[in-house]
Amino acid sequence: MKRFFLISFVAISVVELIALVSSFTLLAVVAKPLIIATLVGYYYYSTRIPKRSLIFLSGLLFCWAGDVLLLFQSEAELFFICGLFSFLVGHILYIITYRQHRSEETENGLLSTQKIRFSLPVILAGTGLVVVLFPLLGDLKIPVLIYAIVIIVMVMNALFRYGRTSPASFWMVFAGALLFQLSDSLLAINKFYAPFPFSDFWVMLTYIGAQYLIVQGVIDHTLKYEPK
């Protein structure tokens, strides 16, 4: 079944991206909610019950809810706010997931000084964008600021798994977290600052890559550390 869900994820993602490029709106609307749904199935059938994370599954489901809500953001601002809140909860659950999916041993992990040094680019990228966009956010200043802080913390927690999981799991989850931050940044730039060509395509391409890498990275850790 996991192979079925993985193939379905790839196929639906390709359909979604083609639909966005060709402006086939109806097809894009239908395909978008199925992307996370297939990843949920892929994760579920790739792991066993003792190590299957309900926290992570819940995070994926909140992201799915965010995807659905953002489909209707053009109808009312409330849908955007609710979608933002769903992704906010999803990121918090991802943070918990990252902390659960790492070894208790810290001797191979990052030193405190390394954590600070490697976190600076992530913090500067996130806060720099907020500074640029802040005057343009209107009533959404506080929600967007909170969201930006949470996603920075999410990326930092992915970074702090270094040396405390398998190299493959670390790099996939960390790359996925960075792509998630990039996707949200592109969405914010397009919505609040200046629309750019094929924005929906680039937002979804980075988002799809982010979610797949995070899911695959969590699976890799689970399979390595689950009981025999």
- Give the pLDDT confidence of 216-227 residue by residue, as tens digits: 999 999 987 765
Q: Mean pLDDT across the chain, nearest whole number?
A: 93
Helix 167-188 vs helix 141-159: angle between axes, to the nearest 10 degrees? 160
Helix 199-225 vs helix 2-21: angle between axes, to the nearest 10 degrees? 170
Categorize the per-residue pLDDT at 35 as very low, low, confident or very high, splitting at 50, 70 and 90. Answer: very high
C-alpha distances (whole Å) from 185 to each of 59, 94, 110, 164, 203 are: 20, 18, 27, 28, 9
Q: Closest by alpha carbon to 102, among 42, 48, 175, 173?
A: 173
The tens digit of pLDDT for each residue in 58-90 reads 999 999 999 999 999 888 888 999 999 999 999
Please say if the pLDDT value at position 122 is more than 60.
yes
The whole domain housing 79 covers 2-225
Chain center to CA of 212: 9
The number of distinct structural domains making up the chain is 1
What pLDDT was estimated at residue 220? 94
What pLDDT was estimated at residue 228? 52
Tokens of residue 181, six digits:
């931050």
What pLDDT was estimated at residue 42? 97
What pLDDT was estimated at residue 73? 85
Q: How far apart are CA 208 and CA 222, in angstroms?
A: 21
What is the pTM (predicted TM-score) of this model?
0.94
Q: Closest by alpha carbon to 214, among 156, 165, 175, 164?
A: 175
Q: Quote the DSSP letter at residue 139.
A: G
